[in-house]
Amino acid sequence: MKIIGIIASPRKEGNTAWIVNKILEGAKEQGAEVQSFNFSDLDIKPCQGCNGCKQSTRGCIINDDMQKLYDAIENADALVLGSPIYMGQMSAQAKIFTDRLYARFSPRFSPYFKCKNEAKQKLILAFNQGNPDSSLFQSYIDYTKHMFELLEFDVKEVPVVTGLRNGPAHKREDLHTALKDIGSSLALK
Ligand SMILES: Cc1cc2nc3c(=O)[nH]c(=O)nc-3n(C[C@H](O)[C@H](O)[C@H](O)COP(=O)(O)O)c2cc1C
């Protein structure tokens, strides 16, 4: 199984990176082939709404680093998308990534975009936030899960790590096993 992690945070070694990599570590221990992409290393422009992806046979016509992600997604069985909560929502980086998925929405409308498998790709949406109240953004989290289901992902889990204003995620002993378990079951599902 191939699993790719997308770290949609501007902080290369921040909480989001650590959380996504911990989930991937759990998956790797179960034999999955994993690869992570860090937004801070990539130059990805927002969707231009040109509809070029619907007219061309080669997909999105913007020639930037999202092309690497399209290739990786095409060959992946599962994705782990990590984002910090910014102002009650996903980060700008995660939104840019999501909008660029327009090029694959929907495979029915974009016959050029062939996923390796007929089966829906699995997705873990991993959020993290400073505030300790896990119910604070629940309606947004539920809505976002539904939106990715409309994009034809099989959303397996939506972990939300809270309370990070009190200290970095890597110092939280409880998270090490919990996040690895998410990756492990993703690889086995
Ligand atoms: C611009 C900005 C907006 C934020 N908005 C929220 C918020 O609405 N709610 C919250 O609980 N934390 C918020 N935070 C805190 C981040 O979600 C938290 O620090 C997160 O762990 C950062 O992830 P990173 O280490 O990958 O950058 C915000 C942080 C920034 C920089």
Q: With residue 4 as reference, give the H or E element that holds it.
A: strand 2-7
Residue-range domain boundaries for the chain: 2-188
Residue 21, pLDDT > 90, answer yes
Confidence of residue 150 (pLDDT cuts 50, 70, 90): confident
Cα separation values, 156 from 74, 87, 125, 177, Å:
19, 25, 8, 18
Confidence of residue 118 (pLDDT cuts 50, 70, 90): low
Condensed to tens digits (0 to 9), the pLDDT of residues 124-147 reads 999 999 999 999 999 999 999 999
The rounded distance, in Å, linking the Cα atoms of 146 and 152 is 10
Cα separation values, 79 from 27, 87, 158, 186, Å:
11, 24, 12, 10
Q: Using an 8 Å Cβ cutoff, are 53 and 115 in contact?
A: no
Q: With residue 26 as reference, give the H or E element that holds it.
A: helix 15-29
Best of 13, 87, 166 for a ligand 1 pocket test (most atoms within 8 Å of beta carbon): 87
* Mean pLDDT of the region 20-49: 97
Q: What is the pairing mode between strands 121-128 and 33-38?
A: unpaired
The rounded distance, in Å, linking the Cα atoms of 43 and 63 is 10
Residue with tokens 């959380």, as numbered in its chain: 19
pLDDT of residue 106: 54
CATH numeric code, 2-188: 3.40.50.360
Q: Using an 8 Å Cβ cutoff, are 63 and 45 in contact?
A: no
Best of 9, 13, 129 for a ligand 1 pocket test (most atoms within 8 Å of beta carbon): 129
